[in-house]
Structure 1
Amino acid sequence: MNDTQSLHHVFILMGVSGSGKSAVASGVAQRTGAAFLDGDFLHPRSNITKMASGHALNDEDRKPWLKALNDAAFAMQRTNEVSLIVCSALKKQYRDMLREGNQCLHFLYLKGDYELIESRLKARKGHFFKPQMLVTQFETLEEPTKAENDVYEIDISMPLDDVIESAIKTINSVTQKTFEGEMV
């Protein structure tokens, strides 16, 4: 990868269902011109069929999807200064698969408590919501630890515009640090 590409960054917006990943990514992309990909679009047909029949995906089902996301992150990093990918990335092993071979990949962890996210899911218009789905998401979530120094926590208890601004400030801080580090 050449020097210009090494300054390009991919941010995975991660968190449980209802944390606002798509809304925040869309808002950040609109305000900054960043490239944006909803990771759900890369699920293989077998995963879509399984989910449509009401069955949850397991780790084995997710492997080809995570590989496709890893490849997408690599491609986006080559062509965009800042790219955003929406992916729940609930487990550390998923985040590790996304990191593999991708320099300058970071995670924005959209963090909120169960009650907040449940209230937002219930308020969604035209969205099917089963409380057990959220319980399962929180049970699956392996919150990032300090050892994952490429994960930045974003508090989602604020209004959406403030969450978007917080994400933009974090992205700018990360990209500026890398730029200054590259220049030294």
Structure 2
Amino acid sequence: MTIDDGTSEGIQIIVMGVSGSGKSTIGALIAGALGVPFVDGDSLHPQSNVEKMAGGQPLNDDDRWPWLATVGKTLADAGEQGSGMVIACSALRRTYRDAILRAAPKTRFVHLSGTREVLASRLEGRSDHFMPPALLDSQFATLEPLEDDEPGIVVDIDQRVTQILSETTAKLNKASTV
């Protein structure tokens, strides 16, 4: 898969959505298709954030701003080095996405969108993640869906992973030619 000028050099993508939407799975697949590194944004959280979420407490903006700065800088650095990168990052609010765009203005967002029912069923089956299913409601309350004037696409997650990847690829390529 190539985007824009036929290359994936320097591409900067945030795969966003609430917990359980498939950000890590789809992000890794997009990165693999593009031949660029993938980073799970959860790995960029400070330990205090991980402990807070694992304890069932939602993050507040004071918790998120340093993390978002790290996400933006990581993307910007990859873009400047020409390697490109895909990062899975919830990026739930417009102000969070704007903060990432200030650091890495060429970023494109892939919003993995689904109903609360679909996401709750996915979270119920997960045992290897620090984000408990009980925090899903707080994430939906925080979520400001990707808007038409933001650089990105929305993909419905209520389909097989192969279909999600195919739709994402087609929409990213279509968006790069507009």
Shorter-chain TM band: 0.7 to 0.9
Instruction: For residue 126 of structure 1, report the CA deviation from its aligned partner.
Output: 4.9
Instruction: For residue 99 of structure 1, report the CA deviation from its aligned partner.
Output: 0.4
Distance in 1 (CA, whole Å) between partners of 2:94 and 2:131 is: 26
- 1:40 and 2:42 matched: yes
Greater mean deviation of Cα atoms: 117-126 or 53-62:
117-126
Distance in 1 (CA, whole Å) between partners of 2:131 and 2:107 is: 31
Provide the aligned length of Structure 1 versus Structure 2: 170
CA contact (8 A) 1:122 1:129 kept: no
In structure 2, the CA distance between the partners of 1:65 and 1:101, relative to structure 1 (3 Å rule), is closer
Question: Which one-letter code corresponds to 1:167 in the other structure?
Answer: T
Question: Which one-letter code corresponds to 1:152 in the other structure?
Answer: I
- 1:162 and 2:159 matched: no
The aligned runs of 1:18-97 (5 Å cut-off) are 18-80=20-82, 82-97=84-99
| 1:111 corresponds to which of 106, 110, 113 | 113
Instruction: For residue 30 of structure 1, report the CA deviation from its aligned partner.
Output: 2.5
| Structure 1: gaps (5+ residues) | 1-6, 179-184
CA contact (8 A) 1:34 1:80 kept: no
CA displacement, residues 3-45 of structure 1 (integer Å, 9 cap, x when unaligned): xxxx732110000001000010112223331221111111123
Distance in 2 (CA, whole Å) between partners of 1:105 and 1:73 is: 8
Instruction: For residue 130 of structure 1, report the CA deviation from its aligned partner.
Output: 4.7
Distance in 2 (CA, whole Å) between partners of 1:52 and 1:26 is: 23
Distance in 1 (CA, whole Å) between partners of 2:67 and 2:128 is: 27
In structure 2, the CA distance between the partners of 1:35 and 1:128, relative to structure 1 (3 Å rule), is closer
| Structure 2: gaps (5+ residues) | 1-8
Question: Which one-letter code corresponds to 2:22 in the other structure?
Answer: G
Please tell me the root mean square deviation across aligned C-alpha atoms, in Å: 2.2
In structure 2, the CA distance between the partners of 1:161 and 1:8, relative to structure 1 (3 Å rule), is same
CA displacement, residues 30-88 of structure 1 (integer Å, 9 cap, x when unaligned): 33312211111111233234334443211011111111111101011122454211100
In structure 2, the CA distance between the partners of 1:82 and 1:127, relative to structure 1 (3 Å rule), is closer
Q: TM-score normalized by structure 2? A: 0.84
CA contact (8 A) 1:35 1:80 kept: no
- Equivalent residue, structure 1, for 2:172: 171
CA displacement, residues 113-169 of structure 1 (integer Å, 9 cap, x when unaligned): 111111222233555775431111111111122232x02111111101111122222
Identical-residue share of aligned pairs (%): 36
Distance in 1 (CA, whole Å) between partners of 2:67 and 2:50 is: 11
